[in-house]
Amino acid sequence: PSPAPARMDLDGNPVAPLTICMIGAGGFIGSHLCEKLMAETAHVVLAVDVYCDKIRHLVDPAPPHLAGRISFHRLNIKNDSRLEGLIKMADLTINLAAICTPADYNTRPLDTIYSNFIDALPVVKYCSENNKRLIHFSTCEVYGKTVGSFLPKDHPLRKEPEFYVLKEDESPCIFGPIVKQRWSYACAKQLIERLIFAEGAENGLEFTIVRPFNWIGPRMDFIPGVDGPSEGVPRVLACFSNNLLRGEPLKLVDGGQSQRTFVYIKDAIEAVVLMIENPGRANGHIFNVGNPNNEVTVRELAQMMTEVYANLSGEAPLDEPMIDVSSSQFYGEGYDDSDKRIPDMTIINKQLGWNPKTPLKDLLETTLTYQHKTYKEAVKRQMSQASAS
Ligand code: UDP
């Protein structure tokens, strides 16, 4: 294959090939980012993770045309002295490693807090001490609940954007009480954001913070009982996919009234590549990365996924395709929810000229086609084994 063409940044200057230390490269986002960097750039990736199932096609072994471009380093950042060496070898570190499934926040709050705050500390420290750039993955959940959610249900101000649109440099972070352990994740993420911001202000760390708003697509999470524990609870896309593959009703938590905006992983990855290649425009900023045009309630998402899946699989939907469950039944005590998540896009538009492209219907078609193709046979086998035993 011919070498990748020279890349230009947004100001028309050539982009020199970088060495990138990508921590959490084996996860959902990391796998898509590795693929994109390998296919379209000349950057070198030091892929760090505890497992590599989602990037096996890139690293185990690396295909000949990627020789020298990507290497896998199996290590846990909690306790491995090789981490600093890898960060020193790289021009840029991207930290994606974290527990980020809501089912864990209230049931494993200690792991959640350690993984999102304590384990991220050495990464920030090594970047700061060695003058290395850091792109840190945070979450839209740092915004917590919207200001409008505290108004009476039918209050007209709830319809005013200033009561719900989430702005990086203006909106407050509003979490529930400590007994609602759901917020352990948001709170840990908020504190690591504040620490990185302070390293920038006091020690000159060059940083970019990314706040993903429900990025979804192929390889997200796991299907319980197939490539994850049968009692495991992934995020909503994988929960609903699992229900559809098994012919079970989709479970709506507390009525499915919460609202989310979903963005296609491949759109979001383009924003990350712009950050990587335009440090002058990305450093010192926090970026919302989401698709404000793809808003639905969870109930509407369930309806859309049911229709899309019926069309592509040829299996008729159930008479009652959805059932209601309480959050305490589904997640246990201490669950709470973000009511609504509309990202303000002003900063990312101005700095990087990025806009999401893919409408919800299209991204659900692509993703559910992948889920059906990848998992249908395995789910069938697993269900027949379970009923035989
Ligand atoms: N949810 C649901 N049924 C499920 C899984 C999730 O109703 O089987 C709801 C959940 O309560 C939340 C929304 O879907 O309101 C999105 O949940 P997800 O786990 O994807 O993560 P979040 O967006 O809350 O970070």
Name the one residue in this structure whose structure tokens are 């009476």: 152
Helices (H) and strands (E) in the chain, counts: 14, 15
Q: Give the pLDDT of residue 387.
A: 87
Closest-lying ligand 1 atom to the alpha carbon of residue 337 = 15
> Which strands, in side-by-side order, build the sheet including 44-49?
70-74, 44-49, 19-23, 92-95, 133-137, 207-212, 285-289
Q: Give the pLDDT of residue 2.
A: 56
Q: For residue 220, what are its two tokens?
A: 């997200």
CA of 235 to the centre of ligand 1 (A): 6
End-to-end alpha-carbon separation of the chain, Å? 51
Long-range contacts of 84-87 (CB under 8 A, 24+ apart): 84/122, 84/126, 84/130, 86/21, 86/46, 86/48, 87/21, 87/123, 87/126, 87/127, 87/130, 87/132
Closest-lying ligand 1 atom to the alpha carbon of residue 139 = 25
- 100: CB partners within 8 A, 6+ apart: 116, 139, 185
- Which residue's alpha carbon is at the smallest distance from atom 16 of ligand 1? 236
CA of 88 to the centre of ligand 1 (A): 38
How confident is the prediction along the chain (389 residues), in pLDDT tens digits per residue? 555 568 999 999 999 999 999 999 999 999 999 999 999 999 999 999 999 999 999 999 999 999 999 999 999 999 899 999 999 999 999 999 999 999 999 999 999 999 999 999 999 999 999 999 999 999 999 999 999 999 999 999 999 999 999 999 999 999 999 999 999 999 999 999 999 999 999 999 999 999 999 999 999 999 999 999 999 999 999 999 999 999 999 999 999 999 999 999 999 999 999 999 999 999 999 999 999 999 999 999 999 999 999 999 999 999 999 999 999 999 999 999 999 999 999 999 999 999 999 999 999 999 999 999 999 999 999 999 888 87
Closest-lying ligand 1 atom to the alpha carbon of residue 252 = 7
Cβ–Cβ < 8 Å for 221, 371: no
Pick among 3.40.50.720, 3.20.20.80, 3.60.150.10, 3.10.50.40: CATH of 98-376? 3.40.50.720
- 113: CB partners within 8 A, 6+ apart: 184, 185, 187, 188
Q: Give the pLDDT of residue 6.
A: 82
CA of 356 to the centre of ligand 1 (A): 22
CA of 85 to the centre of ligand 1 (A): 38
Pick from 218, 209, 110, 122: which is nearest to 169 by CA? 209
Pocket of ligand 1 (CB under 6 A): 102, 141, 214, 235-236, 239, 251-253, 256, 258, 260, 298, 337-338
Q: Give the pLDDT of residue 4.
A: 54
Question: What is the amino acid identity at position 29?
Answer: I
- Relative to beta strand 19-23, strand 322-325 is unpaired
Q: Give the pLDDT of residue 328.
A: 97
Helix runs in the chain, H state only: 28-40, 56-59, 82-89, 102-107, 109-116, 121-129, 184-203, 236-246, 265-277, 279-282, 298-313, 327-331, 346-352, 360-388
Cβ–Cβ < 8 Å for 251, 330: yes
Q: What is the pTM of this model?
A: 0.97
Residues acting as catalytic residues: 185
Q: Map out the domains of the chain as residue ranges.
A: 98-376
- Which residue's alpha carbon is at the smallest distance from atom 4 of ligand 1? 236
Q: For residue 387, what are its two tokens?
A: 């009923």
Q: Which of 245, 253, 263, 335 to mutate to test ligand 1, by most ligand atoms within 8 A of the CB atom? A: 253
- Which residue's alpha carbon is at the smallest distance from atom 21 of ligand 1? 235
For 332, the 3-state DSSP assignment is: coil
CA of 82 to the centre of ligand 1 (A): 36
Closest-lying ligand 1 atom to the alpha carbon of residue 102 = 19
Q: For residue 130, what are its two tokens?
A: 């060695």
Cβ–Cβ < 8 Å for 180, 334: yes
